[in-house]
Each structure stands twice: as C-alpha cells, then as structure tokens.
Amino acid sequence: MIPPVVDITWVGEATAEVVLADVRWYLDGRPGRKAYEDGHLPGAVFVDLDQWLSGDPRAGGGRHPLPDPETFAQGMSELGIGDDATVIGYDDQGGVIAARLVWMLRVTGHEASLLDGGLQGYGGPLETGHRAVPHAHFTPRPWPAERLADIDDAVNPANVVLDARSAERYHGKGEIVDARAGHIPGAVSVPCRENLDENGRFLPVAALRRRFAAAGAPAPVAGAPAPVAPAPVAAAPRGDPVVSYCGSGVTACHNLLALELCGLGQGRLYPGSWSEYSASPDRPIAT
C-alpha cells in the first residue's frame, strides 16, 4: 500500500497508472464542480462528494452517511477509476475534503493517497472545463466493519474519540449547520486543519505525533508510561480505540490519514458524526 500522503514529485515519478481526483466541496454551498471547471490539475477528474461519496441523508446516519458499495463502485467506474488504479486525491483546503475519497479507497484495499499541499502546491498551469474519461471496472467491496465506529463507540470512555471540527464548533460556538451545538462528551478537540502548516502541507511526523499523543492516542512504541489514574470502567473497544468524527464524517478522515502517516495506527471513522449524534435529543452534549 502506498503512503497515505504523497507530494507532486512522487506523482510525477509514479510508475503505475495514476488518476488525479479533484474532490472540492464547500460547506457554504459553493459548487465544487464549478471550481473544478474553472481550473484543475491537468488530467484530473471531478469526484462529487454528495453523489458518489455519500449516501442518502434522509435514511438517517448523518448528513453524509457512507454510500452503499454499489453506488461508490458506479461512481468510480464512471470516472475511469478501475480496481488497479492508483488514485491521488486533492482539493484546495489541504486535503480535508479529499481525505474522504482517499480513506474510502484505502479501507477497501485500493491504492490511494492525498496530494500534500493540494491544488495550491502544484504551481503549474491548470486545465479548465470538463474532462470525459472512458469507464473502468471497479468492483464493489463492503465497508470493513473493523474500520468503522457507531454512536455507542463514540461515547465509550474506553475509546479515544477525536473531534476534527474547528475548536469553536467543538466548544459550542458558531455552530452553523446542526441544530445543537457542542461536542460528544469525552471527545477531545483535534481540528484537522491544524494537521497542516501555513502552506497547507502536513506537519512533520514528530509534530503530528505530539498532537495525537496530547489527545490520548496510543503511543507508536512500547514502554509508554502507565496512566496515573485508573481507566473508566467501560466495555472494551470493538477495534482500534481511536475514533474520529467531525460534522458529517468527511473531514474526520483527514485525522485518520494523519494518524496513519505518523505511524499511530489506522483508527476508526464514525460516519454519522456530530450530525447524527446531535439529532438524537436524548443524547447529552458537552460544551
């Protein structure tokens, strides 16, 4: 499996067939497709987050539930992404949106990475308009249960639960999307955009490790000191103890890829995230 993050030099030197995937999407409602048509990396295809990377929100499970594997496979096929393709996802926000596509591909056994620095890190001339590509064969594969968490995992104190949203939304300030403001009790604020430096590139591995260690993520080496207080009594985690969530299960994937990049495991995605949790009136919230 290729690394979860690569740079433009790696892309230029790649020997395998590489598909560049533009996954721009904006919370304020601006159309990502329009941004793509106005200028994208040469040869890139546009991946519509709402159409191919999300299921129907009316069925429950938050604003961007995972699509069924057949829908995802159809989208990849129509975009010319086959089973053996190597996909490099990017956006213009440091990969916080494109991470969803990359995570979905990696957990189903496909070669995929984020482009470090994204669109801004390219520096060359852009291509405009829409790019038509021949269909490819992409086999539907089920979402691996061991890489997913549910609403009960998100409140289990035996897990390390990371909130990838901004610190303001975590603290219950400036909520612009969901009916209730705040965070899941016990969750730790690890804003995904702070995985990046001022140029939109990932921080060095050592800095990323410090960020996640401060949030309670397990150390990458044996011999870490024992906690000074006993752990809360709770059911054991169903899998990896690190659970990542955000508003709707999109930017949470950026934290999961950052964890993998710095050797701290793969973690689990809570797809429903705050949009599902906050819609349950009986669930407590913290601010």
- Give residue-wise pLDDT tens across range 66-105: 999 999 999 999 999 999 999 999 999 999 999 999 999 9
* Token pair recorded at residue 209: 């490790």
Q: What is the mean pLDDT of residues 198-227?
A: 81
User: How is 172-185 classified by DSSP, letter by letter?
Assistant: T-S--SSSS-SB-T
For the chain, the structural domain boundaries read 5-143, 146-277
> Are 5-143 and 146-277 equal in CATH topology?
yes
**C-alpha span between 7 and 274 (Å, rounded):** 31
First and final C-alpha spacing in the chain: 39
Among 3.40.605.10, 1.20.120.80, 3.40.250.10, 3.10.20.30, what is the CATH number of 146-277?
Answer: 3.40.250.10
Taking only the tens place, the pLDDT of each residue in 127-163 is 999 888 999 999 999 999 999 999 999 999 999 999 9
Tokens of 47: 């991946």
- Cβ density class 25-63: b for 16+ within 10 Å, e for less: beeeeeebeebbbeebbeebbbbbbeebbbbeeeeebbb
Rounded Cα–Cα distance for residues 103 and 269 (Å)? 9
Percent share of the chain, pLDDT over 90: 86
Question: 5-143 in CATH: which number?
Answer: 3.40.250.10
Is 192 noted as a catalytic residue in this protein?
Answer: no
**Coil vs helix vs strand at 6:** strand
Burial of 69 (0-12, 13-18, 19+ CB in 10 A): middle
Half-sphere exposure of 277 (CA within 13 A, CB side): 27
Catalytic residue among 192, 246, 253, 262: 246
Alpha-carbon span 153 to 148, nearest angstrom: 9
Q: State pLDDT tens for residues 14-59.
A: 877 899 999 999 999 999 999 999 999 999 999 999 999 999 998 8
Which residue, chain included where needed, has tokens 């057949």?
Answer: 70
Q: Measure the CA–CA gap between 96 and 91, rounded to whole angstroms.
A: 8
Give the type of residue at 253.
C
